Amino acid sequence: MIGKLNHVAIAVPDLEAACITYRDALGASLSQRQELPEHGVTVVFIDLGNTKVELLEPLGENSPIAQFLERNPTGGMHHICYEVPDIRSARDRLLAEGARVLGDGEPKIGAHGKPVLFLHPKDFCGTLVELEEV
């Protein structure tokens, strides 16, 4: 069902500082900042050729990233994103197998303009999983 690794997301308390670190220390090429109000985040992507790293900063007090950073004030890995060819059939199969889809269960448009869903970390070895339709 899952395809390639699309990205690994890292929550950061200061997106500008994180961008400087990745650019200057690792020579990373960074995308433009993108605000995603529906998801409560501001993101920057680092393209690695075969996958991406997504840097996430909270957008507002109610951001799920703000809650994550309360527990992890210096930041850390937030989620991993896998590609799927059909997000609704993937969702239906996972629900039938007992997995929990976060939110209302309906895909939302993600940072790449494609439908995404998040799966409960307790169902996936303690890791928040994002599925993105490609």
Strand order in the sheet with 115-119: 34-36, 41-47, 52-58, 5-11, 76-84, 128-133, 115-119, 108-109
Site of tokens 């899952």: 2
Active site residues: 130
Q: What are phi and psi of 23, to 5 degrees?
A: -70, -50
Characterize the bridge pairing of strands 128-133 and 76-84. parallel
Token duo for residue 73:
């004030």
Number of H helices, E strands in the chain: 3, 8
**Which of these, 100, 95, 91, lies nearest to 122 by C-alpha position?**
100
